[in-house]
Structure formats: structure tokens, C-alpha cells
Amino acid sequence: MKHFLKLLDVSAEEITELLNLADQLKYEKKHGIEHKLLKGKTLGMIFQKSSTRTRVSFETGIYQLGGIGLFLSSNDLQIGRGEPVKDTARVLSRYLDGIMIRTFAQKEVEDLAEYGSVPVINGLTDFAHPCQVMADLMTIREYKGGFSGLKMCYIGDGNNMANSLIVGGLKVGMKVAVATPQAYKPDDEVLKFAKAHGDMFKLTEDIMEAAEGADVVFTDVWASMGMEKEVEERRKQFSGYQVNKELLSVCSKDVMVQHCLPAHRGEEITEEVFEAHSGEIFDEAENRLHAQKAIMVKLMGDK
Ligand code: CP
Ligand code: NVA
């Protein structure tokens, strides 16, 4: 594994290996065991969109591993003034040991990886949020002990989170059911991958059908970053796509609820459900740190 750009590129074995390493790094952190596996390494972190979790967990994570993180806002970089990605990639590769990027187009992340010579990590694009889904899988495994026989459901927009959850969930062997309005379906490439899994995958407009017997319920904001102008229209289109008590009543008795955050209470999730499941939601947020440390070690560590 040279880069971490999208889960479609990562094998089931590599996902398991990363999750095992993430568990080990979490244990070591909790027990005060030093794990400076990236001593002296530098991670550049390019942000073209806002972030709380991704920024802080990557910066803290690389520091805990003995390296340093450089926060690079696109407002300050020449990339924000039109310097081509392929030039930025070749320059930054001369200074850094790895690059994490959060941006709009998946192609920008793929180009950075193609033209640069250091590992590139996708910290969210419009297409995918693979680091988040590694943390999500880590949290599911912590709570449920494994993936076999479990059903995941996703309610809401067929966005970056939906795309990555579908691929990640199916790769680890979970059943995946997704409820989105017809006009907001997940990406075609992801649906093609999912449909090859037969009965393991279901796409519907009916939230109750998707949630039936689910062991883990996911949702995400109705309007992602960059869709600010569509907020009002999306509120109308998604008004029935909410994780609430009624939806959970058709799920498995000990259903988990996950949300990548930030959450919009009263829209995709009720305050009541969010607070009742806040323990597992904030464990999920914490696991960003451990899962990403594993990704950085795997990509940037001495081979
Ligand atoms: N979940 C997530 O990626 O959060 P941030 O946007 O705060 O990084
Ligand atoms: N779908 C959301 C995820 C935020 C972490 C967005 O892209 O804004």
C-alpha cells in the first residue's frame, strides 16, 4: 500500500492489518507506552475545507508518533492561487515524508499521488472519507467483537460517507443497506462495486426497510461542505431521512449509532438518539486518532 486515497484501492486484508495496528497503538497510548514509530518524519496537511477532527487528530497523531505535522491552509498556499497540483506535488515531495489532503475533487488527491513521490492520504473529498470509515470500522469491532453476520445501514445523502461506508462495510463482510432519495444516490462506481455483492447490499428509498434488523446505523449531514447554497432545498428533499426513535425500533435490540460529526440535531438525527448513543459516537471520534496513526505508520514508516 503506497497511498490511502479510497477504500476501493485497499484490500480486506490491508483493512484488517490497519485495524489491528490501530488497536495496538490505542493500547500503547492508553498505557503510556512510547511508540515513536515515525521519529523525525514530517506530514504536510493541506486543507481546502474546514475541519476539527481531521486536523487535530492528524496533527496530534504524528506528534505522538515522534514526527511533526505542518498545517497548510489552501488560503495561504500557492495552490489556492492556481499553482497546479502536479507542481505542488513535486515540490512538497522534496520536503515532506507524507501528505494528507482534504479537498473537493477526488482527482486532485489522485493527481497529488501520481505526480508526487511521497505517500498521500485522503482526509476527505467529495467522493470519499476513507480515514473516517477506518475509525468507524474500528469502533464497530470494539463494540461488536467482529463484523461477521452484522448489518450496517446508512440513512441520508449518498455522499462521501455513504460511498466509503458501502465499500468498507462490504469489504469487511458486513451486510450494507442504504436509504437515500433517488436523486441523491451514492456514486455509480461504488454502486457497481456494491451490486457485485448480491444480497449483501441493498439500496432503497425506504428508511425502515434499510434499518430493519440493523446492528449499526450511520447517518451524515444532509448538505456537505461545499453545498451551502443547496441547504434549503436539501432540507426539503431529506426531511424523512432522519435517525430517530421510531427508526431504531426496527433495528437490532443492541443497535449502535454512529455519526462522523459534525451532527445537525433535528435534521439527520434527533437530539434524543444522539445523546443516548453519544458514548459510541465520541469513541468513534476518538478512534480517528488511532486509525490514522496506523495509516501513517503503514505508509510512512521504515519498511
Ligand atoms: N468527521 C470529520 O472528518 O470531522 P472534521 O470535518 O471536523 O474533520
Ligand atoms: N459529508 C460531510 C462529512 C463531514 C466530515 C462533508 O463532506 O461535509
Q: Is residue 1 part of a domain?
A: no
- 124 plus 153 within the same structural domain: no
Are 74 and 204 contained in the same domain? no
pTM assigned to the model: 0.98
The pLDDT, as a whole number, for residue 185 is 98
183 and 274 both lie in a single domain: yes
Query: Ligand 2 within 6 A of 225 CB?
Result: yes
Q: Residue 31's domain spans which residues?
A: 7-129+288-300
Distance CA 94, CA 78 (A): 16
- The alpha-helical segments, DSSP class H, found in the chain are 12-30, 53-64, 85-95, 106-115, 130-144, 160-171, 188-195, 207-211, 231-237, 245-248, 271-276, 278-300
User: Cell 432519495 belongs to which residue?
Assistant: 181
Between the CA of 160 and the centroid of ligand 2 the distance, in Å, is: 7
For position 303, what pLDDT does the model report? 64
Q: What is the pLDDT of residue 80?
A: 87
Q: Same structural domain for residues 119 and 158?
A: no
pLDDT score of 74: 87
User: Which residues form the catalytic set?
Assistant: 102, 129, 132, 220, 260, 288
Q: Tell me, yes or no, whether 97 and 54 share the same domain.
A: yes
Q: Which residues of 79-118 are buried (b: 16+ CB within 10 A; e: fewer)?
A: beeeeebeebbeebbeebbbbbbbbeebebbbbbbebbeb
Question: In a 3-state reduction of DSSP, which class is residue 121?
Answer: strand
Q: What is the distance in A from the centroid of ligand 2 to the CA of 175?
A: 23
Indicate whether 71 and 204 sit together in one domain. Answer: no
Task: Please report which ligand is nearest the Cα atom of 261.
Answer: 1
Mutate-to-test residue for ligand 2 from 155, 225, 292, highest number of ligand atoms within 8 A of CB: 225
Task: Spell out which residues line ligand 1, taking CB within 6 angstroms.
Answer: 51-54, 124, 132, 260-261
Provide the residue-wise pLDDT of the chain in tens; the chain has 303 residues. Answer: 999 999 999 999 999 999 999 999 999 999 999 999 999 999 999 999 999 999 999 999 999 999 999 999 988 999 989 999 999 999 999 999 999 999 999 999 999 999 999 999 999 999 999 999 999 999 999 999 999 999 999 999 999 999 999 999 999 999 999 999 999 999 999 999 999 999 999 999 999 999 999 999 999 999 999 999 999 999 999 999 999 999 999 999 999 999 999 999 999 999 999 999 999 999 999 999 999 999 999 999 986
Residues 160 and 120 in one domain: no
Q: Say whether 194 sits in a helix, a strand or coil.
A: helix
Give yes or no: residues 138 and 74 share one domain: no
How many domains does the chain divide into?
A: 2
Residue ID of nearest Cα to ligand 2 atom 3: 224
Given a contact cutoff of 8 angstroms between Cβ atoms, the answer to whether 243 and 268 are in contact is yes
Q: Of all atoms in ligand 1, which is nearest to the CA of residue 131?
A: 3
